[in-house]
Amino acid sequence: MIRGNGRIYAVMWALIEIAAILAAVGLGIFIRLQPALRYGLNLTADDPLLHYRMTKDLIEEGHIPEYDPMGWHPWSYDPRERLPVFHYYLGAALYHLMRFLGSDLTIRQACVLIPAFFAPLAAIPVYLLARRLWGGRLGAAAGAISVTITWAYAQRSVAGFYRHEQFAIPFLVGSLAMSIYAATEDRLWKSVVWGALSGILLVFSAGLWAGFRLFFDGYALFLLAGLLLGRLTRQMEFGFGLPPIYVSLASMGLIPQLTHKVFYLSVESSVAYAAVAAVLLYEAWSAYGGEGKLGSLITRRRVLSVLALAVIALGVGYAAGFRFSGKRFIKVFNPGADLGRGNVIDTVAEHQTNPQASARSIGFLLIPGLLGLGLMLIERWRDPVHLGLVLLASSSVYFAMSFARLPPISAPFLSLSTAYLAHRLGESYSGASKRIRAMEEYLRKRKREVTLGQKIGRLWMPLTMLGLMVIAPLAVSGYNAYSYASGYGLGYPRGWDDALSWIRNSTDPTDVVISWWDYGYWLADGARRVSLADGLNINASQVRVIAKSFIGTEEDMLNTAMKYNASYVVVDLFAEVCNMYTGQCLTGAGKWMAMAWIAERFVHNPFTGDRAFAYEDFPLFFRRAPGTNRTMPTDFARNLTLFKLAIDAFSKGGVLQRGSAQEPEFFELAYESKVGGFPRVVVYRIRGW
């Protein structure tokens, strides 16, 4: 009978745990679906347009194209070498699964919905990992819920955001969980199996998103923690040593985009190599050396720890010194790095450093996350697994603050820290409950009862702390994520649908368009036209050609059009020469500054807060109107292609007086879309064509 009751309780608790995971996943899906429910089944107007197109080609043609004719005209590139191909294979597999289950969704609609349903699956490995490490169900449930509802993760995995994070983060957390499973196993053969499975997931993640590097390098931190604490075990070696080796081997041929950039010989892999080499030397020293007085004075742990630190420092030093490393990699490690005059990276919004925006995206999860992280460090720093987790979590928060697109990578770690805090508070509550039961048993023998006040006196502190430090922050974080998601726009900005429709229907399919590189994906998706740049950050030299054409004379733009056989020039007036928030135009705001910086028209960088820019560079383009606080373009700026076309369009659209515009010599207005009577997107063609 007792055995039967035990089975019933086991089944009951298993069902409760499944319900907790389903609740976490369900909340994540609900939040992420809000944009689609409000704006329809549309993709966000940036990289998802490219990833959808590659997935569509894979499904319809059976392979990823060897050449993408829609962007970076005329040379383009091989998508198989530059793009995360596993992203498209997984997306295609999920689409075929939907069709098998009877769905009649189109490929585009499926790509819109996949992020909302796949990204919340990260709750599963977070829950299982928290249960493995600390055992409590309360903490595991808190961690699972927090990772799905935080806006830091949801902002890049809402419906329509068909990008890398939606796929990669669940696999990355799964890999981490398996590595920690390996490190905490009793039997070595189990550690080998878990480490191998972790390596497979990490390899797959490497083919999904370059952001996996945090984990790839981070596993070295666990090995280093074991060395420093003198507690490195074979289980840890297999758990955290095998996955980086798997990725390095896979980058020699299995993962095309890593093979293309010779990842296995890059600075980014040096940290992992250093840790693996230190472990091998450690084992060799343990087996064959370290004896006698020298061995007792200079312990192998100290020597090899210093060696590992030196190699890691060398790798980071190379990165900081701009050697053998991409500029984005440098920017992540050192947000204040000077990447050189005219660099493209500084102008990309998601590559910039914005700690305030990053902190807002993480929101109230910072409260339990950082408290749990600090508590874990205080209580568990002697355990190499927990110390490694603290180091990796701290790194993720630092990267989230240094690079605007990386807050999602911090969400799983802050959620695990939240799980630890909730677990410890739950233990405090359990301890208080046990003391109350013991008191009841003691007083019952004396025919007395524990009063309600006594119970409250014992329980109010852990319950209050749990409410204030965990439940309330998660509730506010979830509500904020829901609010943000409800206002997250999908599809093209107003005015662009009409402009893309006109280009598609009124120009020849062979026509080539010049636009700022932000709009290349839009032209390929909405207008089916080739552009000189499509939004993929692979050809800074061609972006500079376009920038110099816009921030140059009409002759410069005409020469570019002749060189690349382009017929049309597209300008988004609202984005390029207007203030996106006030709607005021020709006041010094807009993307023209990115063009001018890349075109090397500025000496000082406006995107890094260089104050000299306002006094030395800006006045070349804009001057303050006498007696007002408004600025207006200088004669120099009015003669540049971008401003000449903008002023001409504003004049013809009735925003400016006709006499204020100088008629373009080589280009004529072919089309303008209007929003509220205000010209938004204008299309110019070479005059006489």
| 141-183 per-position pLDDT tens digit | 999 999 999 999 999 999 999 999 999 999 999 999 999 999 9
pLDDT at residue 321 is higher than 50? no
pLDDT at residue 566 above 70?
yes
Higher-confidence residue of 307 and 122: namely 122
Q: What is the pLDDT of residues 471-509, one digit of tens each?
A: 999 999 999 999 999 999 899 999 999 999 999 999 999
pLDDT score recorded for residue 312: 60
The reported pLDDT for the residue numbered 593 is 94
- Predicted pLDDT at 301: 58
**Section 54-58 average pLDDT:** 96
| Residue 437 confidence (pLDDT) above 80 | no
Is the pLDDT at 80 greater than 60? The verdict is yes
Proportion of the chain in helix, strand, coil states, percent, rounded to 5: 70, 5, 25
Q: What is the pLDDT of residue 297?
A: 42
Q: What average pLDDT does this structure show over 290-304?
A: 51
Spatial distance between the Cα atoms of 655 and 516, rounded to a whole number of angstroms: 23
| pLDDT > 80? residue 460 | no
Q: d(Cα 523, Cα 72) in Å, to the nearest integer?
A: 12
The residue with greater pLDDT, 230 or 327, is: 230
A 10 A CB-CB count for 93 gives 12
- Residue-level pLDDT at 292: 46
Predicted local confidence at residue 326, as pLDDT: 62
Per-residue pLDDT for 214 more than 60?
Answer: yes
State the pLDDT at residue 185: 94
Least confident of 223-237, 314-328, 409-423: 314-328
Would you state the pLDDT for residue 688?
A: 76
Nearest partner of 221 among 272, 145, 168, judged by Cα:
272
Q: What is the reported pLDDT for 368?
A: 94
Render pLDDT for 341-361 as a digit per residue (tens, 0 to 9).
Answer: 888 888 887 878 888 888 889
CA 541 from centroid of its chain's CA atoms: 25
Q: Cα separation of 25 and 384, whole Å?
A: 31
Would you tell me the crossing angle of helices 554-564 and 540-550 to the nearest 10 degrees? 140
Helix, strand counts (H, E) of the chain: 33, 7
pLDDT of 581 over the 70 cut: no
**Using CA atoms, how far apart are residues 569 and 687, in angstroms rounded to an integer?**
11
Say if residue 308's pLDDT is above 70: no
Report pLDDT for 296.
Answer: 47
Has residue 653 got a pLDDT over 90? no
pLDDT given at position 183: 95
- Which is nearest to 228 in space by CA: 301, 311, 307? 301
- pLDDT-derived band at 316 (thresholds 50, 70, 90) equals low
- 671, β-bridge pairs: 683
Q: What is the pLDDT of residue 466?
A: 87
Encode 244-283: b = buried (16+ Cβ within 10 Å), e = exposed: bebbbebbeeebbbbeebebbebbbbbbbbbbbebbebbe
Top-confidence residue, 618 or 71: 618
Per-residue pLDDT, 281: 76
Query: Which of 126, 238, 166, 623 has its CA nearest to residue 408?
Result: 166
**pLDDT level of residue 295 (50, 70, 90 thresholds):** very low
Residue 398 confidence (pLDDT) above 50: yes
Decide which of 1.10.600.10, 3.40.50.12610, 1.10.10.10, 3.40.605.10 is the CATH code for 496-686. 3.40.50.12610
Question: pLDDT of 11-34, one tens digit each?
Answer: 887 888 899 999 999 999 999 999
Residue 628: pLDDT band (50, 70, 90) is low
Average pLDDT over residues 186-212: 91
pLDDT score, position 542: 92
Please report which confidence band the pLDDT of residue 109 belongs to, taking 50, 70 and 90 as the band edges. very high
Average pLDDT, integer, range 318-337 = 62
Average pLDDT, the chain: 86
What is the average per-residue pLDDT within 91-113?
95
Q: pTM of the prediction? A: 0.89
What was the pLDDT predicted at 279?
81
The pLDDT-based confidence of 659 (bands split at 50, 70, 90) is low
Cis peptide before 74 (omega within 30 of 0): yes
Closest CA to 591 of 344, 338, 361, 401: 344
Strands 678-686 and 568-572: antiparallel
Residue 120 binned pLDDT confidence (cut-offs 50, 70, 90): very high
- Across the range 287-298, mean pLDDT stands at 50
Q: What is the DSSP letter of 493?
A: P
Write down the pLDDT at residue 486.
Answer: 93
Question: What would the mean pLDDT of 114-127 be, rounded to a whole number?
Answer: 96
Residue of 402, 418, 345 whose CA lies nearest to 598 = 345
pLDDT grade, residue 280 (50/70/90)?
confident
For residue 294, pLDDT beyond 60: no
* pLDDT band for position 1 (cuts 50, 70, 90): very low
Average confidence (pLDDT) over 657-676: 83
In whole angstroms, what is the distance from residue 446 CA to residue 138 CA?
A: 35
